[in-house]
Amino acid sequence: MIELATATPGPELAAVLAGTDPAGLEASGLVDALAGYERLAAWAAAGQARILAALGTTLVHDDEDWTREEVAAALRLSGHTAQRRIDTARDLCTRLPGTLQALAAGELSYLQAVVIAEATRDLDAPAATAVEQRVLARAATQTVAELRRAVARAVLAADPARGEHAHQHALAERSVQCWPAPDGMAEIRALLGAPDAALVMSAVNHLATKTEATDPRGIEARRADALVSVFTSASGQALAGQGTSPGERRPVRAQIQVTVPATTLLGISDTPGELAGHGPITAHTARELAATGTWRRLLIHPATGQLLDHGRRTHTPDHTIWAQLLTEPITAHTLDHGRRRYRPPAPLAAFVTARDRVCRFPGCNQPAHRCDLDHCRTWQAGGTTCPDNLTALCRRHHRAKHGPWTLIRNPDGSITWISPIGKRYHQPPPSYDDP
């Protein structure tokens, strides 16, 4: 019987683990099996890295590398995750042979290998080798966080002048991003220079302390509300530094797009709504958003999926109008502009944006409102400007469609993508009833 926790990973260990019944193991044996699977996963990750690296530049078209799209579609990954795997694989198989060997031997986890690869990516080959040799000796006994700190120290030691350069590069990559979270929440992450981050937190903490003694909210909730209050008051006002050049002033007005079945707004059902850039929201939240302020609402017929209200702006809900729209829905032909117009008018653009929600390339989650609305059958080939011939594509995948990839929109609204090497990937039609 091989020692599961220390066995050399490979087919033999895989066979033993596959034949091991967890019910027949005591706690010690279960932990050993757990460690064995971890070593096996590292071995498999090393093998996959070699495959990814072997793709090389075989998928370059017109000087642009489309490997990311092929990998993302094949493995059902986001483009970002696919590119991260590709970059790591190429680093492991070229500049970091020791790390790849340790990964294949099960001495490192894939996450540890990623830490070493990403931290050394901007170093020249000799410096990367020096860092690898310095950190591998202890990496097998360290957690990911411990290894990350050790690699950071090794990088500074290998190239002391790099620290300031790396900071300036990181500063140029500052960003604000938003991710959906469970239970109708969302997480905003701001990557800022340390002084700017300190300024933001100082202002938020100051606002959060301005409260009555009887306020039931905790300090974190007060900080969150203070942050929102800054942008609530700033909405529609002239904000400094929001233009394309420092010091430029331009008015900014927040806009929230809610897609919701008319039956929900009428109180007939509690079918969830959809908040653009977030995802499903409760019927109660959708009704609150639709009834408060000036919002762009997109009403969808619950049975036909037809657009009922394409962008009418009002301050309060008008149930009479909604009820009339429900019984006398706008027909599809009102959004079909045929060959009369190339660019989709605002109502049609709102419909397609709400329908598609995100870029329709496999694994891409770029919000539709940031995408191009592209003709599936090109205008030059006789395509029309109508819902069935428009789809949301981010700029990169718009280029892919006009480059080595082929997009076929099917009658049911699904899309078939054909890759440069002939692989077919099926994207089902958007549905607001996804589980």
How sure is the predictor about 313, in pLDDT bands with cuts at 50, 70 and 90?
very low
pTM value? 0.70
pLDDT tens column, 81-126: 999 999 999 999 999 999 999 999 999 999 999 999 999 998 889 9
pLDDT at 409: 93
Residue 159 burial by Cβ neighbours in a 10 Å radius (0-12, 13-18, 19+): buried
User: Does 311 have pLDDT greater than 80?
Assistant: no
Cα Dmax for the chain: 76
pLDDT at 323: 47
pLDDT at 134: 92
Least confident interval from 66-70, 160-164, 217-221, 285-289: 160-164
pLDDT tens column, 197-232: 877 888 888 888 877 878 888 889 999 998 888 887
How sure is the predictor about 335, in pLDDT bands with cuts at 50, 70 and 90?
confident
